[in-house]
Each structure stands twice: as C-alpha cells, then as structure tokens.
Amino acid sequence: MKRIIVISVLLFVCIDMQAQAVWDLKKDKNGIKIYTANQDNSNFKSIKVEFSVDANFSQLLAVLFDIDKHHEWVYNTKSSELCKKVSDSELIYYSQVSSPWPFSNRDFIAHLKVKKRSADVLTIESHTEPDYRACTGNCVRIRTSDSYWTITSVGANSLKIEYVIKFDPAGSVPAWLINMFVTEGPYVTFKNLKDRVHSPVYQNAHYSFVN
C-alpha cells in the first residue's frame, strides 16, 4: 500500500509539472532549439534548450568542469573560479556576469552535481548557494537559479542534450527586457560549447564514474 501511495503521488507530481510547463519554440538554428515557458510566481521566463553534440560524456564534463575557462565560451561571463571540489562529480564555483549599461554586473555561486542514471544517461543538477561567499565589488548577487541537464548517449561519440533553467536575475532589471533577449545567451553559449568539445585539450579526458 505504501508503494502504491508513493508511486501515485510521484505520478501526479510529474503530471502537474508537465502541465505547468507549456514550452513555446522561440529559436531553431544550427541544430539548437530554444523554448521558453512562463514560471509560476515569477515574471521571468523559464528556458529549455535541446541540441546534439559530437562528444562523449568525459569530453563534455571536461569542458564544463574547466571553470576558469568559462569566460571563453559562456555568454557574457566575465570571470569564474572554482570554490570547492567536493568530489569528481560535484563542485561549487563562483561566476561573474557582465551586464549592459546602466545595469550592474551579476554574480552567483553554483553548486553542481553530476549523476549517472544509467549506462546511457547522465544528469547535471545545479542550484545557487547565494550565501556561500560574500559579495565583492558592485555586483548584484543572483540568489535564485536552478538548472537541470539530461544528457543521453545516442552513439559511440554523440550526445543528445536537454537543458532547462529557471532563474531570477535579481536587482532592478525589468522582466520584459530580460525576456526580450532570453534566447540570445543560451544560443551563443551552446553554439560555443558544440565547438569547444573538439578542442585538443579535452579529447583525452576521462572520468571513471561515467564509464
């Protein structure tokens, strides 16, 4: 009976979550599809990105875990640094994001966890930990941001990726302005990522927990 109750609750939760997220395709270019959806209790849009990349799990993770180089490919990232390596599959990092005048730059602290769900599926969960380290300079601290990656191996060297993020940029930036340009950042970032995984420095990357 307990199992039936738990399964029933989870089923209704999943159905409810699917019902809440009505995704609207906003951009489809170079194999990258970007969707937006309304968030409950927020004026900012949720974002979903779907794309494929010619790489294996370890190559992709090597790029993502190379925190000091995020400014070279993640949209508008000014700087980033590792705060703590919890394990081979978990870390906490700091990042500062450039904002256009007259708005202040943003910064955030992300806690990232990688989990192997099956032989062919990895997930990455990331959420902000705004009080992990004090703010420095004139940045506005992003306090709310949650993202979830579902990475599926569809061949010897091919990955299908779904990325979903919900966030609030904090401060006085109007939601209508953010929502106007909500597809630009994800498109540039993931287009860069598709190229970056082929960099020689990541070709021989190896993470034992994904093999």
pLDDT tens digit sequence for 22-39: 999 999 999 999 999 987
CATH numeric code, 23-205: 3.30.530.20
CB 89 within 8 A of CB 114: yes
Q: Is the dihedral of CA 48, 100, 110, 207 positive or negative?
A: positive
User: What is the predicted pLDDT for the residue at 172?
Assistant: 63
From 154, 158, 161, 147, select the one nearest 50 (Cα to Cα): 161
Residue ranges in the chain modelled with pLDDT below 70:
1-20, 171-181
Q: Return the H-helix or E-strand segment holding 45.
A: strand 45-53
| Domain layout of the chain by residue ranges | 23-205
User: What is the predicted pLDDT for the residue at 37?
Assistant: 92
User: What is the predicted pLDDT for the residue at 8?
Assistant: 42
User: What is the predicted pLDDT for the residue at 10?
Assistant: 41
